């Protein structure tokens, strides 16, 4: 409005513009912002908070009047603020319209109660000539991280179980060989009670080791089988060779099986461990000399 002369008299000239549509758009925009479950935050170039939607209020636990005009640093743990500043500087200089950042970029949120949470953030910029604004869309990914960990945990445990099972079987095989040789030596030196006593200690320690591996194997018994097509004749030949190398030269090993057996689906590792375990047991109870 301004003063003018009209028909020789002082008058006020004013112009009016209907901003109903703009107000409706602003109201609609505010409604959309508050419906969005993600935290949506607008800041100026200095990082001062200009808008803070309902999703942001719920995520961080603040009231609107507690954050408007404050630095966005209040929403970031102190140890990550320098990295955040560097990321924003790089983004501003890159010329990109938007950039997505995650926990690996140091995006950790800080709630009003000082609790922290992992987050994913999409930052976009708006150049208004003399002024530049940044819009931040932040999502709390705590629940997703927990679900991912729940999925990974059984996989880790299964891998540990497979490793423990393999080690236990191999260790049991070693114990069986030690026990077998110990008993053979015991039978040959019965005339030396002192040396026989030492061998008895070795045998007892071996039995305790076998009990420990039995407990370890029982804890991994639910591991799913990993079968594969197997040429039975070839597998038996390999197993026979392995057994022959595990016993004393005084023990002869031979296999008797039909020729041209069909291939079958077999967990080779489990079968190998099973038969070597049986061999260990047989050698432990061997009392009457090699046969």
Whether 172 and 257 map to the same domain: the answer is yes
What's the confidence (pLDDT) of residue 266?
Answer: 81
Whether 129 and 154 map to the same domain: the answer is no
Percent of the chain residues topping a pLDDT of 90: 15
Is 266 a domain residue?
Answer: yes
Range of the structural domain that residue 46 is part of: 20-140
Please check the confidence at residue 262 and state whether its pLDDT lies above 80. yes
Whether 85 and 197 map to the same domain: the answer is no
What's the confidence (pLDDT) of residue 131?
Answer: 80
- CATH of residue 107's domain is 3.30.450.20
Structure-model confidence comparison of residues 226 and 53, the more confident one = 53
Whether 112 and 163 map to the same domain: the answer is no
What's the confidence (pLDDT) of residue 238?
Answer: 82
Exposed, middle or buried by CB within 10 Å (0-12, 13-18, 19+), for 43?
A: buried
Number of domains in the chain: 2
Whether 163 and 252 map to the same domain: the answer is yes
Q: How confident is the model at residue 12 (pLDDT cuts 50, 70, 90)?
A: confident
**Which range, 27-36, 47-56, 156-165, has the best average confidence (pLDDT)?**
47-56
Report pLDDT digits (tens) over 213-255: 666 666 555 555 567 888 888 888 887 877 776 666 667 777 8
Whether 191 and 91 map to the same domain: the answer is no
Residues 6+ apart with CB under 8 A from 201: none
- Over residues 90-103, mean pLDDT: 80
Structure-model confidence comparison of residues 125 and 204, the more confident one = 125
- Over residues 67-75, mean pLDDT: 94
Whether 226 and 176 map to the same domain: the answer is yes
Of 40-49, 219-228, 268-277, the least confident: 219-228
Looking at the DSSP bridge assignments, the partners of residue 135 are 42, 124
Structure-model confidence comparison of residues 148 and 135, the more confident one = 135
Output phi, psi for 256, to 5 deg. Answer: -130, 115
pTM, two decimal places: 0.47
What's the confidence (pLDDT) of residue 157?
Answer: 66
What's the confidence (pLDDT) of residue 258?
Answer: 80
Please check the confidence at residue 166 and state whether its pLDDT lies above 90. no
Please check the confidence at residue 151 and state whether its pLDDT lies above 90. no
What's the confidence (pLDDT) of residue 154?
Answer: 67
Q: How confident is the model at residue 288 (pLDDT cuts 50, 70, 90)?
A: very low
- Over residues 135-163, mean pLDDT: 77
- Over residues 119-123, mean pLDDT: 89
Rounded to whole angstroms, the Cα distance separating 107 from 125 reads 18
Report pLDDT digits (tens) over 244-254: 766 666 677 77
- Domain boundary among the residues 140, 159, 176 is at 140
Q: How confident is the model at residue 290 (pLDDT cuts 50, 70, 90)?
A: very low
Output phi, psi for 154, to 5 deg. Answer: -60, -35
Average pLDDT for the chain = 76
Whether 106 and 224 map to the same domain: the answer is no
Is 10 a domain residue?
Answer: no
Is 290 a domain residue?
Answer: no
What's the confidence (pLDDT) of residue 159?
Answer: 66
Rounded to whole angstroms, the Cα distance separating 176 from 276 reads 9
């Amino acid at each position: 409005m301004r003063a003018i002369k009209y028909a020789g008299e002082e008058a006020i000239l004013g112009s009016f513009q209907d901003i109903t549509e703009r107000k409706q758009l602003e109201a609609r925009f505010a409604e959309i912002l508050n419906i969005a479950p993600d935290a949506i935050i607008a800041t100026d170039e200095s990082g001062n908070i200009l808008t803070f939607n309902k999703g942001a209020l719920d995520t961080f636990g603040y009231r609107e009047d507690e954050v408007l005009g404050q630095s966005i640093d209040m929403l970031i743990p102190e140890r990550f603020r320098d990295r955040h500043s560097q990321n924003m500087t790089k983004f501003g200089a890159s010329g990109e319209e938007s950039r997505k950042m995650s926990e690996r970029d140091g995006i950790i949120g800080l709630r009003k109660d000082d609790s922290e949470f992992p987050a994913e953030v999409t930052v976009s910029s708006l150049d208004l000539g003399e002024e530049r604004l940044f819009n931040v869309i932040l999502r709390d990914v705590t629940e997703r991280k927990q679900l991912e960990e729940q999925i990974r945990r059984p996989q880790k445990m299964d891998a540990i179980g497979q490793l423990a099972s393999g080690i236990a079987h191999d260790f049991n095989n070693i114990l069986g060989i030690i026990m077998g040789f110990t008993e053979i030596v015991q039978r040959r030196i019965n005339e030396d009670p002192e040396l026989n006593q030492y061998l008895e200690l070795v045998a007892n320690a071996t039995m305790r080791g076998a009990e420990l591996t039995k407990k370890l194997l029982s804890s991994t018994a639910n591991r799913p089988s990993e079968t594969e097509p197997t040429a039975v004749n070839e597998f038996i030949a390999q197993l026979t060779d392995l057994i022959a190398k595990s016993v004393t030269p005084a023990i002869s090993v031979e296999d008797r099986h039909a020729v041209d057996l069909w291939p079958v689906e077999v967990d080779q590792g489990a079968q190998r461990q099973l038969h070597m375990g049986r061999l260990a047991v047989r050698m432990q109870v061997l009392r009457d000399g090699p046969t």
